[in-house]
Structure 1
Amino acid sequence: MSNANGMADKNLSNVVEDLAKSPVNSHQAQQQQQDSNDRRHQAALNHDHTPDRDHPKTT
């Protein structure tokens, strides 16, 4: 899968890389899951568009 520029989709390639890793034990599996959760949480923080209560928009 590629984007309009013909380059591979970065999100898709990251998912493929994550799926290609097979953990050798439960600790490694937990660490991989935590890495995924941390990235998801950071992405949510980066895209948080809560209204600014100190400086509300004027209409």
Structure 2
Amino acid sequence: MTKQKSPDKNLQNVAKDLDRNSVNSHNAQQLQQQVNDHRHQDALNHDGN
């Protein structure tokens, strides 16, 4: 196995998501939509077609 030189990016993202506290359900929905938008844009950017 290879030695990991830097912290796991997935774990960093999970920790960052857990640090976010939503004020109410609307704010929670807005935060989740922002995450979804970033993931969608990332998928579009990596689409090779």
Give 1:36 shift: 0.7
Question: 2:20 aligns to what?
Answer: 21
State the number of aligned residues. 47
Larger RCO: 1 or 2 (CA < 8 Å, sep 6+): 2
Give 1:35 shift: 1.1
Percent of aligned positions with the same letter in both sequences?
Answer: 57
Provide the TM-score with structure 2 as the length reference. 0.72
Give the 4+ runs in structure 1 shifted more than 3 A: none
Q: Name the structure where helix makes up a greater proportion of residues.
A: 2
**Which runs of 5 or more structure 2 residues have no equivalent in the other structure?**
none
